[in-house]
Structure 1
Amino acid sequence: MQSDNRIFDDLAKLVNGAAGTIAGMGREAESTARARARDWIGGLDFVSRDEFETVKAIAIAAREEADALRARLDALEAKAADPLPTA
């Protein structure tokens, strides 16, 4: 009976060692995946939130100015289309 217990003990040690190795491999794979994702995302050309908001505000201001210029141009075209009054 003593030898049966030793075989089971050795088997338990082997399984525990394998489980630890597999867990370590999992942690290493996760770490490598995170590093690769960080490198990939870092290589992309993203803008910060502040830069985005600044460009958005400039675009809104430019659109408002273009609308005002369009209204002014329409008024000038309408005025130019009217016949000259006779004196």
Structure 2
Amino acid sequence: MQTRNPLLNDFADLMTDAFGAAQAVGEEAQAVFRAQADRLVADMDLVSREEYDAVKASLAEAHDQIAALEARLEKLEKAKKPATPRKPRASKAKTAATKSTD
């Protein structure tokens, strides 16, 4: 035969209520912390993921264009034939001066 001890029943009920209250306090503390963290992030003026992805795509496109232009420049430089060096011409003043002294 089981006997019920009212003191133990009261103690069990008290512990159940205490655990429930502790859980509620923990959830409230978590909500307050999350609100403060959200406010801090908003004050930091961070970029959104969409903005970051857009800038990243634009940068990748710019890198591709730069690579294409570098390849085109290299091709043009290879295709350019070196000019044959010419003898420098004497200026008209020099030729006139040399003729008058002769």
Which is helix-richer, 1 or 2? 1
What secondary structure, in the 3-state scheme, does the structure 1 residue paired with 2:29 have?
Answer: helix
Which residue of 1 is the match for residue 31 of structure 2?
A: 31
Unaligned regions of 5+ residues in structure 2, if any?
Answer: 87-102
Distance 1:77 1:9, change over 3 A: same
TM-score normalised by structure 2 residue count: 0.51
Q: Where has structure 1 moved over 6 Å in runs of 4 or more?
A: none
Matched-pair identity in %: 31
Report the structure number with the largest CA radius of gyration: 2
- CA distance in 1 between partners of 2:9 and 2:53 (Å): 65
The alignment of Structure 1 onto Structure 2 pairs a total of residues equal to 81
What is the CA distance between 1:78 and its match in structure 2? 5.7
The CA RMSD over aligned residues, in Å, is 3.3
